[in-house]
Amino acid sequence: MPTKVKTNEKANPRNPAQSAAEAFELFHGHPPKEEIVFESIEHDHEYYAGIGDLEELIIVPEGERKGIQLHSFGGAQLAMNERALTGGPIAQLFVVGGDQSLNPETLRQFGIDPGKLHEQEVLGKCVNITYFTRKTHLGKDGGTADYVHAFGEESAKKQLRILVSPTATYHTVNKIIGLWGGKYTIEPEGIRN
């Protein structure tokens, strides 16, 4: 059976090919007979369009009804894909830069055992997001302020609101928070449901 080899020397100071072979042998009880290198092309955003300074996320863990408040992101920005408002792909929110790391106590709040982490963990549904920015095109509704968006706010039922909110994930190796899916759009006025 082949073993998958990844060639990111910075992520693993040891020889990653040797580490993969050792893992293969531990799992199968015998060493691999061949090495296959898989290459794939993934779209990686070189540019993001900034939305504002990320101030707060409220995330409801899976199976729970009460949200957990995350803040103090050390300069992280809320951003959108570079062509979200100009005819590009479907809008997507990103958290970029700053300090997105979650400590072991916070991970436990989400039901995640810090001693048994996967590279990607699901935190829950992000129901609220707060960002700080200056909007000059909205007249009296704009200005410099904290803008709070409640995902699914048009929904009267709290359970439905949770279902239509984006899923918040945590990449434990890169220490970044992701926002996946959800029923929202990004418009010049702001994030809309």
**DSSP per-residue string spanning 65-94:** SS-EEEE--TT-EEEEETTTTTT-SSP-EE
In angstroms, rounded to a whole number, what is the distance separating the alpha carbons of residues 184 and 167? 12
The residue ranking higher by pLDDT, 81 or 178, is: 178
Mean pLDDT, range 153-158, rounded to an integer: 58
Q: How far is CA 55 from the centre of its chain?
A: 15
pLDDT at 6: 47
pTM: predicted TM-score of the whole model, two decimal places = 0.81
Asked if residue 15 lies in contact with residue 9, where contact means CB atoms within 8 angstroms, the answer is no
- Res 42 pLDDT > 50: yes
Question: Percentage of the chain surpassing pLDDT 70?
Answer: 87
The position carrying tokens 């995350």 is 70
Least confidently predicted of 33-37, 58-62, 144-148, 179-183: 33-37
Amino acid in position 48: Y
pLDDT at 160: 66
- Res 44 pLDDT > 90: no
Confidence of residue 95 (pLDDT cuts 50, 70, 90): very high
For residue range 96-136, list pLDDT tens digits in order.
999 999 999 999 999 999 999 999 999 999 999 999 999 99
The residue ranking higher by pLDDT, 88 or 41, is: 41
For residue range 49-78, list pLDDT tens digits in order.
999 999 999 999 998 989 999 999 999 999
From the list 166, 52, 57, 170, the residue with the least C-alpha distance to 111 is 170
Residue ranges per domain, the chain? 3-37, 48-192
Token couple for 47: 């540019």
